[in-house]
Structure formats: structure tokens, C-alpha cells
């Protein structure tokens, strides 16, 4: 009996000592005066693949991931899309959504985005393909720490394979390279971590 | 159908799948065989598949999963493992990495083995996270986010006194380590890689900004399968085109991993564009990454006709391998200019009849004046 109580106490002690993994808040930054500032991802206005409005109301209380792409992209977008389909089917929570912002606002019309969306077989209320004005796009990409450029003398774009992970408080909690299998495994763990926060 | 017949069908199907699996596996390259083999050994827990991570107040220790060595593994071919590392997810304080070490060890006794079994250890920062924290957004996506790579011939690095790489306790890094074995082909054994990263919380250090440059040689995609004597003179023979093919502005294909033959050969590469120096800067640390049979590797300032860094490589005498590829470490630093032209020059000497793989990269560390000003203000506020 004494041994059991001792084991139980030891277990409680171990559990209380073990550090819980916490994801950093990455929408904090240090300004030119060395002061830590922060911003939220809460002011945006985009159009979905169904032609509906997409604003803060769509992400309230949700954990979501955000990436940039364009439908004509034949280099890194197809493998990124496969990974996103995998994530969308693995994470079943209704509190989790995916958002993909097109950087080719000239060619990616709402109907093009809708067709692209249908190719994923993921529900249109789970994965939002979004189009906005160039100003909205520039603003949201800066907030998500993304950057993209147009290739010289062409209609193609260079963009990264990273996604940002955003929590229910509109804060960025991580960046993950979709072309890296270890990063995708970690991303799934971190989505579940935020869903249980 | 009787149960006996079912068993028979299942057995035949199993044999068929096994045969197909063996045929598929035997047609894989040595590199891909190592990936499959390591995956199976780790998945079935035949060898330890877990990383061990720990940290004291000044030292981060990572021990890799166990790797099985049962073959010759040239550079980039051996078993490898990757992991993410964060010092302390619950703290947001500033630290400085100052030194890096890697060694091969015997898994059960932790006894150090020959470093000929270390291909490389890479540590990558997270571009958006690292630069985003300092609001240096123009730096994001400008280069591959590699902090450094220690490799065969250079397994220990100490940054010059007073310099370091700043990071936050809850910042995420991606670590990869890979096995090398040029010489041992008469035994099968297990090893681990032990990584040590020294760090400090001193507030007086100056930040270093890492930049990787690497030699690239032109090749034509359509000659890859040609016999060696039909390769054009101005083309290299690329290795692993999937991972090491690049394109220049003219759309030409270049390789950062190529074959060298039994002769002494000199290669040159204009590194000005890769360096992309914006302001006059000082370089304080240069770490080379070379393969066996490299003889001399130099970074030249072509405008001044001076040498920024030269590495006289020492190769093993009676076996394949690098004894030493000296790095540069300087408190004072060497000035590099935005208006100057810079060139990489590599001399190789393959002493064997067999072609050998070659790579030639430099990891340069510049004093980061812009970040230094920010850190000083940050320290005043915290």
C-alpha cells in the first residue's frame, strides 16, 4: 500500500515537472526602438471560390492554416496541394479550416478557383480558396510573413512553400514547409495542440 | 473454397509481393536503398529510432537515432535523420549560439568513433520566424535558411570571440545529420551522431548573418545518360539532378554536385551574384564544405586581385577521406565590397580510377550591423 502511494506521488511529481510544449506567438515583433509590438490577423476582406465574402467572421473561433499559391503553378503547388489535402482529411475538427490565397489575381477568377477547389474533393466550407485586391493581398502576405515576386518577363511567380498556422485568437503560432515531411507531421501535431488549447 | 486453399493463395500472393519488393529494392540507387532500409529498421524498432535531446545552461545536446552501416556510402548516400529542436518552448529570452560540434559514437558505450562516418550535420533556421521576430521582412525568402553545415573534415567550429548567432529560447530549428562511409566494407555495425551546440545569454555579443555560396557547373539535361567520352568539354556530369539542379538567368541548367575524374582539375565560378553584397561588410567566419579529393578551395576578390579565404585541404593518405578542411575565423574580419567581383576556385585531384562525387560550398558569416543596432535597443528595453 505504502509502495503504491509512493509510486502515485512520484508519478504526480513527474507529471507536474514535465514541461508542456507551448507554441510561440509569432505575430509579435521587435520594432526599430527595441520594443516588442504585436498585431492580429483580423482585418481583411477576400472573396471565396463560391463568390462569397470572406472576413474575420469566417475565422472566428477557428484554428486555420494559410498559404499562397496560383492555379497555373506547376512547380511547387501540386505537391503542396497534396499535403494540404492530406492535412484537410486528417484533421477532422469542424473548428479547423484551410485558407489558400491566390497571388495571380489577374488569371485566377472565382470560377477558376472553384474548379481548382473541386479538384481537391475537400468540402468548400473547410478549404477556402481566396481572391482579393492587390492591396488586400499585399497586406495579408506581410502579416503572414510571406513574400512572392513575378519572374522577369513572364507571368509566373516565385513564392514559398510555407504555411502559417493561426490560432482562435487570430495569432500566428508557427510556420511550416509543406515540402518537408517532418514539418507536415509537426504541423498536424501543432494543429491538434491549438485545437485543445 | 477450403481454408487450406485460402492459405495457399495468401502464401502465393505474399511470395509474389515479396519478390516484387525485392526486385524494386534492388533497382534503387544506394541512396534510396539507405532511405528504405533505415525506415524499415526504425519503424520495426530493430534499431533505436528516437532522437535524444537535452540542454544545460550553456550547451544543447542532440543524439541522433541509430544508423546501421552495412555498405559504402558516399556523400549524400548514407542513412540520415532529421528533427525539429526548440531550446525551451516556454521562454522567450535571447540567446547566442557560439560553437558547434559533431561526432560519431558507438550507440551502447557512447565511445567516439572515427569522424569518417560523419557526412554532414545541417542546422536550418525558420526564415519567417527568425526574421519576422526582428521585423526584418525584406530578408525573408532571399536565400535558403541554412545557419551552417559541419561536414567530413570540419567537425568543430567556434565563432570568433565576441560573435554569435542570436536566437530566442522558443525559436524552432531544423536539424539533419547523415552518415558517410567511404572505406569500411567488411563489417556491419551501428552508430549514432552526437551534436553539441554551445550557447550563452551574454548581452555583449555581436550578431553574425549567415550566407551560403556554392560552386555550380553547367550541364545539358539531355547528356546525362551519355557515355563519358561523349560528354561535351564544357559540361559537368551531374549527380542527383533532382536535388542539386539550378537554373541561371539565361535558363541554363547548372549542377552543384558533379563527378570528377582521375586528373588534377581546376574549376572556377563567379560567386558575385550569390553573395549579393549590398553594403560594405566584414566576414568573420568561413566554413567550407568539400568532398574527398578536393585539393584547394579559394574565394577570390577579382577586383582587388586578393584572396579572401583559401583552404588547403588535407586528404587521408591510405584511404578515402578528408583529414582537415581548415576554416577561417577572425575577430577583426575581412572586408568585402558590394561593387567587387568575387570568384570561387576549386582544384581537385582524384587519385583513383573511379569517378568521385564533388561539391564545394562556403558558409560565410558576416557581422550583422542592422540586427546589432536592433539587439542593443532590445537589450535596453528588456
Write the pLDDT tens digit of every residue in B283-319: 999 999 999 999 999 999 999 999 999 999 999 999 9
pLDDT at A129 over 80: yes
What was the pLDDT predicted at A15? Answer: 46
Chain B residues in contact with A22 (beta carbon < 8 A): 89-90, 170
Q: Which three cell numbers stand for residue A5?
A: 502511494
What was the pLDDT predicted at B351? Answer: 92
**DSSP-assigned letter for residue A48:** -
Mutation target for A interface from B85, B88, B141, B246: give the one with most A CBs within 10 A: B141
Reported as a single tens digit per residue, the pLDDT across A11-37 is 554 444 456 889 999 999 999 999 999
Give me the count of residues in chain A. Answer: 197
pLDDT at B131 over 80: yes
Other beta carbons within 10 Å of B92: 16
Contact A145 B376 (CB under 8 A): no
Cα separation values, B283 from A119, B160, B372, Å: 50, 11, 15
What was the pLDDT predicted at B108? Answer: 94
Residue A22 CA to residue B86 CA, distance in Å, equals: 10
Contact A30 B374 (CB under 8 A): yes
Mutation target for B interface from A20, A38, A150, A175: give the one with most B CBs within 10 A: A175
Residues 75-104 of A with CB under 8 A from B: none
φ/ψ of A51, rounded to 5, equals 85, 10
Contact B174 A182 (CB under 8 A): yes
Q: Which three cell numbers stand for residue B33?
A: 536503398
* Residue of chain A minimizing CA distance to B143: A160
Q: Is the Cβ of B133 closer than 8 Å to some Cβ of chain A?
A: yes
What was the pLDDT predicted at A9? Answer: 54
pLDDT at A80 over 70: yes
- Binned at pLDDT 50, 70 and 90, residue A42 comes out as confident
Q: Is the Cβ of B83 closer than 8 Å to some Cβ of chain A?
A: yes
- Domain A23-195, CATH class in plain words: alpha beta
Q: Domain B45-207 falls in which CATH fold?
A: Jelly Rolls (2.60.120)
pLDDT at B59 over 90: yes
Task: Please state at what angle helix A77-90 crosses helix A181-195, rounded to 10 degrees.
Answer: 40
pLDDT at A66 over 60: yes
- Closest C-alpha to B135, from B370, B320, B353, B380: B370
Task: Classify residue B162 as left (phi > 0), alpha (psi -120 to 50) or beta.
Answer: left
User: Mean of the per-residue pLDDT values for chain A?
Assistant: 87
pLDDT at B127 over 80: yes
Residue B117 CA to residue B80 CA, distance in Å, equals: 12
pLDDT at B72 over 90: yes
Mutation target for B interface from A19, A23, A26: give the one with most B CBs within 10 A: A26
φ/ψ of B101, rounded to 5, equals -140, 145
Contact A34 B174 (CB under 8 A): no
Residue B99 CA to residue B93 CA, distance in Å, equals: 19
Contact B84 A175 (CB under 8 A): no
Residue A87 CA to residue A122 CA, distance in Å, equals: 11
Q: Which three cell numbers stand for residue B183?
A: 572505406
Chain A residues in contact with B171 (beta carbon < 8 A): 24
Q: Taking residues B59-87, what's their average pLDDT?
A: 94
Domain boundaries, chain B: 1-44, 45-207, 211-372
Q: Is the Cβ of B132 closer than 8 Å to some Cβ of chain A?
A: yes
What was the pLDDT predicted at B225? Answer: 60
Reported as a single tens digit per residue, the pLDDT across B253-288 is 888 888 888 889 999 999 999 999 999 999 999 999
| Sequence-ordered alpha helix ranges (H) in chain B | 3-26, 30-43, 127-133, 241-244, 272-275, 369-381
Q: Which three cell numbers stand for residue B46?
A: 530493430
How far is Cα of residue A11 from the mean position of the Cα atoms in its chain? 37
Q: Is the Cβ of B29 closer than 8 Å to some Cβ of chain A?
A: no
- Binned at pLDDT 50, 70 and 90, residue B248 comes out as confident
Burial class (CB in 10 A: 0-12, 13-18, 19+), A76: middle
Chain A residues in contact with B133 (beta carbon < 8 A): 26, 28-30
Q: Taking residues B137-148, what's their average pLDDT?
A: 91
DSSP annotation string for B127-192: HHHHHHHTT-GGGTTSS--EEEEEETTB-EEEPPTTEEEEEETT-EEEEEEEE-BSS--S--EEEE
Cα separation values, B27 from B16, B70, B182, Å: 17, 17, 21
- Domain B211-372, CATH class in plain words: mainly beta
Contact A30 B133 (CB under 8 A): yes
Please list, in sequence order, all residues whose beta carbon lies within 8 angstroms of the beta carbon of residue B379, skipping any fewer than 6 positions away: A34, B94, B203
Q: Taking residues B113-117, what's their average pLDDT?
A: 95
* Interface confidence: ipTM more than 0.95: no
What was the pLDDT predicted at A77? Answer: 87
Chain B residues in contact with A175 (beta carbon < 8 A): 126-129
What was the pLDDT predicted at B240? Answer: 65
Q: Is the Cβ of A154 closer than 8 Å to some Cβ of chain B?
A: no
Please list, in sequence order, all residues whose beta carbon lies within 8 angstroms of the beta carbon of residue B68, skipping any fewer than 6 positions away: B37, B38, B41, B47, B79, B188, B189, B190
Contact B140 A23 (CB under 8 A): no
Cα separation values, A24 from A20, A77, A164, A167, A194, Å: 12, 27, 12, 11, 11
Residues 175-194 of A with CB under 8 A from B: 175, 180, 182-183, 186
Contact A152 B249 (CB under 8 A): yes
What was the pLDDT predicted at B130? Answer: 95
What was the pLDDT predicted at B142? Answer: 86
Which three-class secondary structure state does DSSP give residue B277?
coil
Cα separation values, B251 from A152, B244, B245, Å: 12, 15, 12
Same topology between domain B45-207 and domain B211-372: yes
Reported as a single tens digit per residue, the pLDDT across A130-166 is 999 989 998 999 999 987 765 545 556 667 889 999 9
Among A78-82, B26-30, B243-247, the range of highest mean pLDDT: A78-82
- Binned at pLDDT 50, 70 and 90, residue B236 comes out as low
Other beta carbons within 10 Å of B301: 17
How far is Cα of residue A23 from the mean position of the Cα atoms in its chain? 14
- Closest C-alpha to B282, from B330, B335, B331, B338: B335
Q: What is the pTM of this model?
A: 0.88
Q: Which three cell numbers stand for residue B11?
A: 502464401
φ/ψ of B180, rounded to 5, equals -130, 145
What was the pLDDT predicted at A17? Answer: 47
Domain boundaries, chain A: 23-195
The minimum CA-CA distance between B64 and chain A, rounded to whole Å, is 15
Reported as a single tens digit per residue, the pLDDT across B170-220 is 999 999 999 999 999 999 999 999 999 999 999 999 999 999 999 988 877
Q: Taking residues B139-165, what's their average pLDDT?
A: 94
Cα separation values, B215 from B222, B255, B283, B349, Å: 21, 8, 19, 17
Q: Which three cell numbers stand for residue B304?
A: 582587388
Q: Is the Cβ of B378 closer than 8 Å to some Cβ of chain A?
A: yes
Reported as a single tens digit per residue, the pLDDT across B310-362 is 999 999 999 999 999 999 999 999 999 999 999 999 999 999 988 888 999 99
Amino acid at each position: 500500500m505504502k509502495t503504491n502511494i509512493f509510486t502515485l506521488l512520484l508519478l504526480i511529481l513527474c507529471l507536474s515537472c514535465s514541461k508542456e510544449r507551448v507554441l510561440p506567438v509569432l505575430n509579435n515583433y521587435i520594432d526599430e526602438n527595441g520594443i516588442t509590438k504585436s498585431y492580429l490577423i483580423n482585418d481583411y476582406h477576400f472573396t471565396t471560390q463560391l463568390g462569397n465574402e470572406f472576413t474575420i467572421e469566417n475565422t472566428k473561433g477557428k484554428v486555420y492554416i494559410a498559404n499562397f499559391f496560383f492555379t497555373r503553378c506547376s512547380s511547387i503547388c501540386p505537391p503542396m496541394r497534396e499535403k494540404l489535402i492530406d492535412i484537410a482529411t486528417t484533421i477532422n475538427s469542424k473548428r479547423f479550416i484551410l485558407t489558400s490565397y491566390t497571388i495571380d489575381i489577374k488569371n485566377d477568377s472565382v470560377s477558376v478557383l472553384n474548379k481548382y477547389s473541386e479538384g481537391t474533393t475537400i468540402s468548400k466550407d473547410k478549404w477556402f480558396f481566396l481572391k482579393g485586391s492587390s492591396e488586400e493581398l499585399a497586406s495579408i502576405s506581410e502579416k503572414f510573413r510571406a513574400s512572392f515576386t513575378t519572374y522577369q518577363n513572364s507571368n509566373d511567380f516565385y513564392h514559398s512553400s510555407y504555411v502559417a498556422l493561426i490560432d482562435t485568437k487570430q495569432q500566428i503560432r508557427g510556420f511550416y514547409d509543406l515540402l518537408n515531411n517532418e514539418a507536415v507531421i509537426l504541423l498536424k501535431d501543432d494543429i491538434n495542440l491549438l485545437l485543445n488549447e | 473454397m477450403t481454408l487450406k486453399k485460402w492459405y495457399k493463395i495468401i502464401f502465393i500472393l505474399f511470395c509474389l509481393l515479396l519478390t516484387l519488393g525485392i526486385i524494386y529494392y534492388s533497382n534503387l540507387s544506394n541512396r534510396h536503398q539507405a532511405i528504405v532500409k533505415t525506415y524499415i529498421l526504425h519503424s520495426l524498432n530493430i534499431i533505436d529510432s528516437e532522437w535524444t535531446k537535452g540542454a544545460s545552461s550553456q550547451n544543447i545536446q542532440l543524439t541522433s537515432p541509430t544508423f546501421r552501416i552495412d555498405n559504402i556510402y558516399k556523400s549524400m548516400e548514407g542513412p540520415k535523420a532529421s528533427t525539429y529542436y526548440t531550446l525551451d518552448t516556454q521562454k522567450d529570452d535571447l540567446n547566442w549560439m557560439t560553437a558547434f560540434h559533431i561526432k560519431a559514437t558507438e550507440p551502447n558505450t557512447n565511445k567516439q568513433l572515427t569522424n569518417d562516418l560523419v557526412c554532414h550535420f545541417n542546422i536550418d533556421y525558420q526564415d519567417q520566424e527568425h526574421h519576422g521576430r526582428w521585423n526584418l521582412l525584406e530578408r525573408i525568402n532571399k536565400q535558403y535558411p541554412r545557419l551552417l553545415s559541419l561536414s567530413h573534415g570540419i567537425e568543430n567550429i567556434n565563432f570568433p570571440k565576441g560573435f554569435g548567432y542570436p536566437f530566442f529560447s522558443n525559436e524552432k530549428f531544423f536539424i539533419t545529420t547523415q552518415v558517410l562511409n567511404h572505406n569500411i566494407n567488411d563489417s556491419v555495425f551501428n552508430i549514432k551522431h552526437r551534436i553539441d551546440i554551445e550557447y550563452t545569454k551574454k548581452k555583449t555579443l555581436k550578431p553574425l548573418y549567415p550566407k551560403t555560396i556554392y560552386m555550380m557547373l553547367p550541364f545539358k539535361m539531355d547528356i546525362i545518360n551519355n557515355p563519358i567520352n561523349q560528354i561535351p568539354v564544357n559540361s559537368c556530369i551531374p549527380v542527383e539532378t533532382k536535388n542539386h539542379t539550378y537554373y541561371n538567368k539565361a535558363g541554363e541548367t547548372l549542377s552543384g554536385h558533379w563527378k570528377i575524374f582521375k586528373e588534377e582539375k581546376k574549376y572556377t565560378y563567379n560567386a558575385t551574384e550569390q553573395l549579393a553584397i549590398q553594403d560594405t561588410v566584414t566576414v568573420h567566419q568561413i566554413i567550407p564544405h568539400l568532398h574527398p579529393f578536393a585539393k584547394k578551395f579559394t574565394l577570390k576578390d577579382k577586383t582587388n586581385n586578393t584572396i579572401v579565404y583559401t583552404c588547403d585541404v588535407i586528404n587521408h593518405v591510405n584511404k578515402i577521406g578528408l583529414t582537415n578542411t581548415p576554416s577561417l575565423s577572425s575577430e577583426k574580419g575581412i572586408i568585402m565590397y558590394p561593387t567587387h567581383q568575387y570568384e570561387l576556385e576549386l582544384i581537385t585531384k582524384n587519385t583513383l580510377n573511379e569517378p568521385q562525387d564533388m561539391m564545394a560550398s562556403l558558409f560565410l558569416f558576416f557581422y550583422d550591423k542592422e540586427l546589432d543596432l536592433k539587439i542593443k535597443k532590445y537589450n535596453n528595453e528588456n
